[in-house]
Structure 1
């Protein structure tokens, strides 16, 4: 029996349908769906994994944070545990009787490791099994047929490189996270995550925020005039002094010119600007383009993976920006001679030669991202179609002609003051006809000649201020990470997702929370090695050398442990200072604003029963408080409510969209108002219950459940998030909403 192993179930199913169309039957093995058919060579069985089916971990004895020092993890044994019991059981069962195994996982570092993990499980029960490897960049009939016709060897060096990353990230992440979290007193779900790639990336974001905070805006003024040509067309001209830094200077010019003055055309220059086509998509460029049309990095890669496994695009994890000679580019375009992109494909196919653009990076593992097969809009959801279309249009654009613009530069004399106006008109769309994203618009000015006279219809001065450097968007941040050697094409978007999930950043562009600033400040001051990219980029380079067979994995692992020992030496020298620095910084992240009643700080607090609320530090003299949702991390933003003296807050729950709660006081008042309006609509003359036990349907047991969830008063029940409360108490959400409606 010949066993073929793909990385995911859907890939196994598609590969089976390509190699044996209409002949496979679905067979369940140990709870896992497989696909088998009888060939001339015997039975073939296709099965999919679920990515990694095993994980690395420390022995259970190391799990107690209070008893095991963080630095003990550096040299601790690392064990492998199963994460997919059914798949492992199926592999062993099928592996026992298999005579040959083909590893058909994705062809990259991670895919090679996933394949080797499966192979090692099979070799436990069938030590002498024959095995081979197939490489493909798209799950299409041609790509799969070619791959299985030309099998190669498993690359154990590449798998070792992937394994070394897992070990290094586990040891660095677990030990540093434990140390920093214990120092800060942040345990449980609120622990402070620290990582080899994560922390230098977070440092980039924090440093940019500090640049913004240190930036001092400088006022300036812009002077413009609206001119009217003889034909009656109006357009805008700007003073030759782009920015006036002295108000008196711009006022002096304003006194010289006025509506009705003549504007003499003193100079007119027309030229042509060539706009070159874009280069092919690699992962970084794809994420950047997807980000510009509204996709987060993680979402873009998740959807790209779906498009790939369904055979619609090529493998989306690639550094390559040069199409390989082995790719039949004309045939690839011909796929789209029918369907939604027919007119674009036919236009390209008119070319005698199809010469694509080339980027700076050329690799041999995978080609740049390209559309692999024709799809209809009904084959996918709206988001998938948007990214599928993006890939198609980018692919087409790389073969298209340059775009050409006609540019016009003009100068005018108005009472001795020089004004300028620039125009641009797209005369040959070229590649922009295929790839219309973020296209600049025409800036049209009337036809004119030197010596023409226009009239001034309006003069305007606009007061402005210089702006701080912008925060990083996800696409831009991933490009910087790539430049600095932080992470890989397969992991950078995951690092950014982790920063969001740990409530280190919020929004897009990314804004760091005060917790993030506290962690980075502490690391940069007392253990700078962790927050700088040098160490992690060195390890990334070493992992590349493992993949190339230039250095043994064990050497790199030993080197990484030595680096980490030095980091811990830095930490231990400054242990007390680190604790003080972290706790002082984290306290700031709980400050919501000033109390309107006593001017003390309003803080995120917890009740004795675990409930969460905004309370006044002046308690017990001041008992001002506001309710908060029970679950989710509270993120204090930099938006400020002047009316109530509080910062806006966000609530972040893993796997859900962030909830912009806004100013807590405004939110509470709005909630009260809506309740009163509902009550009026119902014509409610009912007396409001004074305690939880007065509410119809709440007995002793239910009241205890609510109390355990931090709901001890009628007001707290009113303000509670019904869905979250239902999850915590197991009380039906409908019943909770009925109570809230009754007591409103």
Structure 2
């Protein structure tokens, strides 16, 4: 049995085993027990995934933004990749003298056996090397044809053990979760899928089926689908008694949506980002995204903004007579409401004041009712969470999912507001009867009889969201408790009587004009007792009799102005998205969160969404090129087509190809007309030539370049019209007007934030165009932008430069090997008086003697460990040397005095290690154990700078 989350798996196993189960650790926990299945004794295993096992992605050939045309993406192949590669850990499968083809043959599609040990790196295709005396690595190209595009096979012989490594093309990469499911499914005759009962859950069902090796129509190994709406004992047992088959059409509908969104979104996003990146100084161009759902969502916000900016207020006037009855002053409302002509309003005021007597012409009393709410669905929950609780849609769904997995509420993703006929209202109410907050009200409902809920909308997915068991604030925490409280109150409101009240309206006549007043008196509170924010506002008015005449006390002419609408609230936006078919109950929070995170809108007080200049300009650009790109109509059409796929009324591939063909044509037209959007950007953002501040000289034209601080930060030479990417999230300044010996560019010093942040010099040209071939991949460096797409940046700071003559290079400033990784400890050039070394690969810092006047590297190497000899000029007041001497040279690893004065720390890491090797291996005597910190590595100390 496979559930969607570990907590749900535990709940299912606990119920089915009666609490008698054995749990063992694995990729996710596996619960085992003896039980009954389909009327027979069975040994049952329950485990889980964590959401999707796979995600849709492009093959590696289409991953490089510079190597592929975005237009090609519409027809590019796609494959399933691991959904969360960061969670994958390396595991080694050992075998003893077993032919490697045995391992190949037992593996399911898309899975390989195991990872190599971390110290053995992947090798390129068709290469063979000797790694040590007893480790032979070979390449087998024939595997590609015979075993589903396997790129290469590494066969390792070591200590009479056989380690087999099968590396698939990224299309068939390794998924730890898939391997876990395949292992657990071996020997099982039935697979029961306990995934969420929506389209996404159905899609995950078939991912699990693929990983386990089961077949839907296999008579020997059967696949079953459990349909449930909560993880209570009753629902779990009911689902076990009514197992069905998984719905492939709903799974295909998700595949269709994923492929359309991926290809359309990535194609437009790559083109926009590449086109506008580096053109404007005050534009955050790191990632200018487009999405078939995201962009129409932004369009609603911009549409409201344009209504606000184009609004022209108008003055209006209205009459309000006042009368005094039984000591109570009453303000009357004018039947005409308001006039926009001051002279006409003044005329009516004079006519009324000349009469001066109000006559009661009609008194009407009417019994009215405010109906109780229907069942709670996801959209209404999100709207209330935003407008009343102040929770954004993303946060609200996270809280709701947590409450669901803990068994406090039913499944939170549903479009239905109608309860099924079999719903157990009495059982649900009984579960809340002991609640300290509303338990008394529940007991009263049970004793006096609860009302039958209103008929709502039955979408055929899940019942409305309801509480499943009682909870307190101490059990849930403040945020989850507030959401849980609302779910409980809403449910109780649906089974409570309607609110009933008497509405009294009194009409008056004076000077041929008519006025009125309204009073309201509640007779039955009904559901408003438990939902007081929806209560009727009672208003008492004096007693009047028909034809009674009353002298008016005063007649006021009030002046007012029409006001523009406010910015769109999250609640209003959710309503618009639902009405126009933008997204689903599950994806609406994601789309709203995306436009916020990408700086297209900002959330203001009251959860109002104010579009930014970038968001407004984007929508206006789409409108002037192709309004369909930001209108909800086209997305609504896509959702309709996908729904047809889910119902089996349309072909999956046909729908995908039809929609992609339409967007491909729109993309081609958009590219041709991009200058129209660029003109709008020019009007809103400053060109690079007019932005930034003068910082350093260009090595080509010897003119000063400008530093653009807006993310992504960069340098711009207006003479050469070149843009140079820079490290992000730190400060940058000129480095003593020193120049790079390779290209004559002035050097800069980049400093990361915080007391433990590194500082290092860099040449802007070398950083973007590494002069030494392979330097960027050799050290495993990555681009520095938040979204990993800033051109060649991060190719070679000075601490990676192997130039032998430059005083700022790693050759000159490198001291010794890092004790934590295969990197090199480099002297921080601007760390005085708190001198330190930092690793050019990881976050290791080494504190040097503090307060020294000067610390510098020398040309000499330690004869014992090969580390660079450093020279220290101590402060004469704090010198540790005898006779007050201040100058000392030595190796920080082998010199007893220096070794006692250093300390290993950890600061902020700049680069992420992707592979490759550092320069040098040595760690010296005892490595870095100064002041009790560090443990050192058992590596040959004679090899420190062998590869320089």
TM-score by length of 2: 0.60
1:7 aligns with 2:4: yes
Equivalent of residue 575 in structure 2, options 454, 479, 483: 479
Q: Counterpart in 2 of 1:553?
A: 652
Q: CA–CA distance in 2 between the matches of 1:431 and 1:124?
A: 50
Q: CA–CA distance in 1 between the matches of 2:688 and 2:371?
A: 48
Q: Counterpart in 2 of 1:617?
A: none
Q: Which moved more, 1:122-131 or 1:530-539?
A: 122-131
Return 5+ residue gaps in structure 2 as ranges.
89-175, 692-707, 716-725, 731-751, 755-785, 788-828, 841-906, 912-948
Deviations 1:366-397 (A, max 9, x none): 11112222223332112222222212222222
* Distance verdict in 2 for CA 1:259–1:513, change over 3 Å: farther
Q: Counterpart in 2 of 1:69?
A: 69
Q: Counterpart in 2 of 1:55?
A: 55
Q: Counterpart in 2 of 1:423?
A: 519
Q: CA–CA distance in 1 between the matches of 2:334 and 2:22?
A: 76
Q: Counterpart in 1 of 2:896?
A: none
Q: Counterpart in 2 of 1:349?
A: 446
Say how many residue pairs are matched: 622
Q: Which has the higher helix share?
A: 1
**Kept after mapping to 1: 8 A contact 2:209/2:215:** no
Q: Counterpart in 2 of 1:91?
A: 181
Q: Counterpart in 2 of 1:358?
A: 455
Cα deviation, residue 550, structure 1: 1.7
Q: CA–CA distance in 2 between the matches of 1:34 and 1:235?
A: 72
1:23 aligns with 2:119: no
**Kept after mapping to 1: 8 A contact 2:417/2:458:** yes
Cα deviation, residue 728, structure 1: 8.0
**Kept after mapping to 2: 8 A contact 1:611/1:630:** no
Cα deviation, residue 57, structure 1: 0.8
Deviations 1:463-493 (A, max 9, x none): 3211223332222222221221111111111
Cα deviation, residue 427, structure 1: 2.0
Q: Counterpart in 1 of 2:425?
A: 329
**Kept after mapping to 1: 8 A contact 2:377/2:413:** yes
Cα deviation, residue 417, structure 1: 6.0
Equivalent of residue 275 in structure 1, options 353, 362, 370: 370
**Kept after mapping to 2: 8 A contact 1:222/1:242:** yes
- Taking only aligned residues, the RMSD between alpha carbons, in angstroms, comes to 3.7
Q: CA–CA distance in 2 between the matches of 1:697 and 1:445?
A: 80
Equivalent of residue 275 in structure 2, options 180, 183, 191: 183
Q: Which moved more, 1:438-447 or 1:563-572?
A: 438-447
Q: CA–CA distance in 2 between the matches of 1:259 and 1:474?
A: 50
**Kept after mapping to 2: 8 A contact 1:514/1:589:** no
Cα deviation, residue 576, structure 1: 3.1
Deviations 1:640-664 (A, max 9, x none): xxxxxxxxxxxxx99xxxxxxxxxx
Q: CA–CA distance in 2 between the matches of 1:566 and 1:299?
A: 37
Cα deviation, residue 105, structure 1: 0.6
* Distance verdict in 2 for CA 1:312–1:189, change over 3 Å: farther
1:224 aligns with 2:323: no
**Kept after mapping to 2: 8 A contact 1:259/1:458:** no
* Matched residue SS, 1:437: helix
Q: CA–CA distance in 2 between the matches of 1:488 and 1:442?
A: 39
1:150 aligns with 2:245: no
* Distance verdict in 2 for CA 1:418–1:370, change over 3 Å: same
**Kept after mapping to 1: 8 A contact 2:373/2:494:** yes
Return 5+ residue gaps in structure 1 as ranges.
593-601, 614-628, 632-652, 655-692, 705-725, 731-744
**Kept after mapping to 2: 8 A contact 1:409/1:420:** yes
**Kept after mapping to 1: 8 A contact 2:276/2:285:** no
Deviations 1:181-239 (A, max 9, x none): 22222699721110111112211221121122111110123443553322x22332234
Deviations 1:675-713 (A, max 9, x none): xxxxxxxxxxxxxxxxxx9999555979x9xxxxxxxxx
* Distance verdict in 2 for CA 1:124–1:330, change over 3 Å: closer
Q: Counterpart in 2 of 1:301?
A: 397
* Matched residue SS, 1:348: helix
Q: Which moved more, 1:291-300 or 1:405-414?
A: 405-414
Q: CA–CA distance in 2 between the matches of 1:327 and 1:305?
A: 21
* Matched residue SS, 1:327: coil
* Distance verdict in 2 for CA 1:698–1:257, change over 3 Å: farther
1:135 aligns with 2:227: yes
**Kept after mapping to 1: 8 A contact 2:301/2:568:** yes
Deviations 1:256-307 (A, max 9, x none): 7889976554443322222122211121222222223122222222111111
* Matched residue SS, 1:199: helix
**Kept after mapping to 1: 8 A contact 2:214/2:223:** no
Q: CA–CA distance in 2 between the matches of 1:560 and 1:317?
A: 27
Q: Which moved more, 1:550-559 or 1:529-538?
A: 529-538
Q: CA–CA distance in 1 between the matches of 2:753 and 2:592?
A: 26
Q: Counterpart in 1 of 2:338?
A: 243
Q: CA–CA distance in 1 between the matches of 2:373 and 2:690?
A: 47
**Kept after mapping to 2: 8 A contact 1:183/1:579:** no
**Kept after mapping to 2: 8 A contact 1:123/1:129:** no
Q: Counterpart in 2 of 1:385?
A: 481
Q: Which moved more, 1:271-280 or 1:412-421?
A: 412-421
Q: CA–CA distance in 1 between the matches of 2:299 and 2:587?
A: 17
**Kept after mapping to 2: 8 A contact 1:515/1:589:** no
Deviations 1:332-354 (A, max 9, x none): 22322322322322333245574
Q: CA–CA distance in 1 between the matches of 2:269 and 2:351?
A: 66
**Kept after mapping to 2: 8 A contact 1:26/1:35:** yes
**Kept after mapping to 1: 8 A contact 2:215/2:223:** no
Q: CA–CA distance in 2 between the matches of 1:505 and 1:561?
A: 28
* Matched residue SS, 1:132: strand
* Distance verdict in 2 for CA 1:583–1:68, change over 3 Å: farther
Equivalent of residue 266 in structure 2, options 167, 170, 174: 174
Equivalent of residue 191 in structure 2, options 101, 109, 113: 101
**Kept after mapping to 2: 8 A contact 1:224/1:459:** yes
Equivalent of residue 613 in structure 2, options 499, 504, 514: 514
Q: Counterpart in 1 of 2:938?
A: none
Cα deviation, residue 34, structure 1: 2.1
Deviations 1:579-610 (A, max 9, x none): 33445445599999xxxxxxxxx996957577
Q: CA–CA distance in 1 between the matches of 2:333 and 2:239?
A: 61
Q: Counterpart in 1 of 2:901?
A: none
Q: Counterpart in 1 of 2:464?
A: 368
**Kept after mapping to 2: 8 A contact 1:591/1:604:** no
Flag the structure with more relative contact order, 1 or 2, with Cα contacts below 8 A and sequence separation at least 6: 1
**Kept after mapping to 2: 8 A contact 1:320/1:366:** yes
The structure whose Rg is larger is 2
Q: CA–CA distance in 2 between the matches of 1:21 and 1:395?
A: 30
* Distance verdict in 2 for CA 1:528–1:257, change over 3 Å: closer
Q: CA–CA distance in 2 between the matches of 1:5 and 1:189?
A: 43
* Matched residue SS, 1:384: helix
Q: Which moved more, 1:492-501 or 1:214-223?
A: 214-223
Equivalent of residue 118 in structure 1, options 208, 214, 231: 208
Q: Which moved more, 1:451-460 or 1:428-437?
A: 451-460
1:446 aligns with 2:539: no
